[in-house]
A and B are shown apart, each in its own frame.
Chain A
Amino acid sequence: MAIAVPKRRLFGRTKRPGSTREALVGYAFVFVPMAVFLLFFIYPIGYAVYISRYDWGILGPLENLGWKNYSHLWHDTLFRRAIKNTIEYTVWVVPAQMALGLLLAVVVNQRIKFRTFFRGAFYFPALASSAAITSIALYLLNINGLFNKVFGFHRAWFYDTQTALPAITALNAWTTSGTMMLFYLAALQAIPTDVYEAAAIDGAGPWRQFWKITFPLLKPGHFFVAVVSIIGAMKVFDQNYIVSRGTGGPDYATYSVVLYIYNTAIKDSALGLAAAAGVVLFIIIFLFTIVQWALFGRQEAN
């Protein structure tokens, strides 16, 4: 989410210096939140990098490896598989949730009956817990499930190496589309209505209006939604974990980067290697976050 960065200078005085007492009260008020932020957010970054340089087992650091954990990751077939799966997932889920989110936004933005109801209903899967939604999907897509019955398939979608990752992709595109709908609704509001008036006078039908006006004018919205979607997609974990009981199966078909971090740390107790994978993922996400802030932070601040 784009956050309005304070426009004031970071250092230097505010205009009217407060009293010493006011300053002390200020420190007292922010003490607990700041302590928690420093202890559980800022410090862990450095600690993660520190751990990532060690062969670190369940009892603690064993040997300083320098940056060898990183080169080990590079050659680790499982990590490569996790990266491949995560990229494959991202490449499919991002356009899918964007398209579905845009469709939802455009539909509920029309003059339809029960519009408020539909908006709320379409947002609902985005509010629901991943565990409950995944359970429902597991039921619908099981081999004797409703989906197979209706569409005439005979396939265990989540347990087939061909379809397990696509099934998770479809599931998550569905659940996140409500959030994307809200982003797109906000972007749609920014388009002035007189453009449509002019287009209607020129005889452009609704289909042409959408492709020639709405879609191109949503460009900032598309960028924003894309970046948010990509960042979210690279963190995929819950569904893969629940569906495969943490194995990333069948045959590593659903093994994601975060699942790699989790299993390497918790199941294999290889904390150094897991921390290195975490740092790699952080750098990738950080780059996208910078893009997001650069593109949208400034315009939000204004």
Chain B
Amino acid sequence: MSEPAAPPLAALDELAAGEPVAVGAAGPPVGIPGRARSELIQRLLTYGALTALALLFFVPFIWSVSTSLKPLPETANFSLLPHTWTVAAYKEAWTQYNFARYMANSAIVSVAITFTSVFLAALGGYAFARLRFPGRNLLFFVVLGTLMIPDQLRLVPIYRMLTIFPVTHWNLVDTYQGYWAIRMVSATALFLMRQYFLTIPRDLEEAAVLDGAGYFKTFWRVMLPLAGPALAAIAILEFQGTWNDFFWANLLLQSPQHWTMQVGLAQFFWSYGTLWNDLMAASVIALLPVVIVYLFFQRYFVAGVASAGVKG
């Protein structure tokens, strides 16, 4: 799938919550015959399945990390731990195979796109939530409608438009500007911001307006600081989406000095397919930012998404 389905938001809340939720595992046994045996079977089934699943989900990643720490000849062995521990593969990937450059490119486009789309989503979301103007609902309906348009339909017209941009005739293929332009606004992000702003009580803005603050000042000074969790949530969604993007990056960022991490990984595999330790090192580097974001910001992610009140 080039574009994973948006995560179901209610369940993300569940994902972070450590509290046990008794579903399928019924409450305390109160003298029901056969209960102890039934519970035992359930535990056996659960832990059996858990072991199998844990192997399925952990072995590939552990094996990749292990390989990335081996010298090349050792990748032919099947020892779980390297005999000779080395970060040579990381060094090679980073310098010789240019992944430092691809990492920087990915960072630049991801940060630029995240900032732009968060700002525009907040601005638009605020207007749709709070300001009254004729045609507002119709325009909002257009925003929701864009969620139905698959990237695969947009491929040809967008490629053509970026090759010879309407009116100005710019060629934006293989430029960061072109890539940034087509990803700078996200309907999902705008929608989530609007929903979040709707949950904020009006009193606070009215106080600001009474103090003589203009619309933009009210938005910037009063509403944005209140929307912290939602901003963090969509920032993470946008960052992850852009960082992981292969479809558009591969189409538009064609020359090696523009390759992102994901395009660089694919290109590396095509050119040096059997340098497994280097490929695994590069893959680990490519995964790292998302892992870090996931580990550290999961709480904000959940908080913002839960308050946006959207359920998948």
Do A and B share a complex? yes
Give A contacts to B, CB under 8 Å.
1-6, 8-11, 14, 16-18, 22-27, 29-30, 32-34, 36-38, 40-45, 47-48, 51, 56, 60, 103-104, 106-107, 109-112, 115-116, 118-132, 134-140, 142, 144, 146, 149, 172, 174-176, 179, 181-183, 185-186, 188-189, 191, 193, 196-197, 200-201, 203, 205-207, 209-210, 214, 224, 228, 231-233, 235-238, 241-242, 245, 257-258, 261-262, 265-266, 271, 274-275, 278-279, 281-282, 285-286, 289, 300
Interface of chain A, main secondary structure: helix
With A40-B181, A106-B24, A241-B250 in contact, do A278 and B152 touch (Cβ < 8 Å)? yes
Residues of A within 8 A of B46 (CB): 107, 110, 112
Of all chain B residues, which has the CB nearest A119? B15
Cβ-based interface call for B276 (8 A): yes
> Closest 7 CB pairs between A and B?
A18-B132, A26-B133, A29-B127, A26-B131, A44-B157, A182-B11, A129-B244
> Chain B's nearest CB lies how many Å from the CB of A194?
9
* B16 interface contact, C-beta 8 A: yes
Whether B256 sits at the interface, judged by CB under 8 Å, is no
Contact of B243 with A188 in the complex, beta carbons under 8 Å: no
Contact call B45/A207, Cβ cutoff below 8 A: yes
B152→A261 contact, CB < 8 A? yes
Are A111's CB and B58's CB within 8 A?
no
Instruction: Return the CB mask of B118-160 against A: 1 if under 8 Å, else 0.
Output: 0011011011100111101111111111111111111111111
- Which of A104, A125, A142, A278 is packed against the most chain B CB atoms within 10 Å? A278
Contacts of A131 in B (CB 8 A): 244, 246, 261-263, 265-266, 283, 286
Task: Look across to chain A and name the residue whose beta carbon is closest to the beta carbon of B148.
Answer: A289
Contact of A149 with B146 in the complex, beta carbons under 8 Å: no
In the complex the two chains form, what is the Cα distance from A136 to B181 in whole Å?
31
Whether the pair A258, B152 counts as a contact (CB closer than 8 A) is yes
Q: Is the interface of B mostly helix, strand, loop or mixed?
A: helix
Q: B5 at interface (Cβ–Cβ under 8 A)?
A: yes
Cα-based distance from A146 to B64 in the complex (angstroms): 10
Q: Tell me the complex Cα distance, A104–B52, Å.
A: 11
Q: Which residues of A contact B23 (CB under 8 A)?
A: 109, 188-189, 191, 193, 196
A22 touches B155 (CB 8 A): no
Q: Shortest distance in angstroms between A289's beta carbon and chain B's nearest beta carbon? A: 5
Chain A residue nearest to B183 (CB atoms) is A40
* B274-312 to A contact mask, C-beta < 8 Å, 1/0: 101001101100110011001000100000000000111
Do residues B276 and A6 form an inter-chain contact, with CB atoms below 8 A?
no
Flag if B144 contacts A262 (CB, 8 Å).
Answer: no
Name B195's closest neighbour in chain A (CB-CB).
A4
Please tell me if the beta carbons of A3 and B191 are within 8 angstroms of each other in the complex.
Answer: yes
The CA of A128 and the CA of B151, in the complex, are separated in Å by 20
Which residue on B lies nearest to A108, using beta carbons?
A: B50
Return chain B residues, CB-CB under 8 Å to A25.
127, 131, 215-216
Residues of A contacting B124 in the complex (Cβ-Cβ under 8 angstroms): 29-30, 32-34
CB of B4 within 8 A of CB of A176, answer: yes
Chain A proximity of B180: nearest CB distance (Å): 11
Is there contact, CB below 8 Å, between A9 and B137?
A: yes
* 24 A-B interface contacts by CB (under 8 A): A10-B141, A29-B126, A29-B127, A30-B127, A33-B123, A36-B184, A40-B158, A41-B146, A45-B149, A45-B153, A111-B25, A122-B53, A124-B61, A128-B287, A131-B244, A146-B59, A182-B11, A182-B15, A200-B38, A205-B42, A206-B38, A233-B1, A258-B2, A289-B148
Residues of A within 8 A of B11 (CB): 181-183, 185-186, 189
Within 8 Å of chain A (Cβ to Cβ): is B201? no
Q: Are B134 and A140 in contact (CB under 8 A)?
A: no
Residues of B within 8 A of A3 (CB): 144, 147, 191, 310
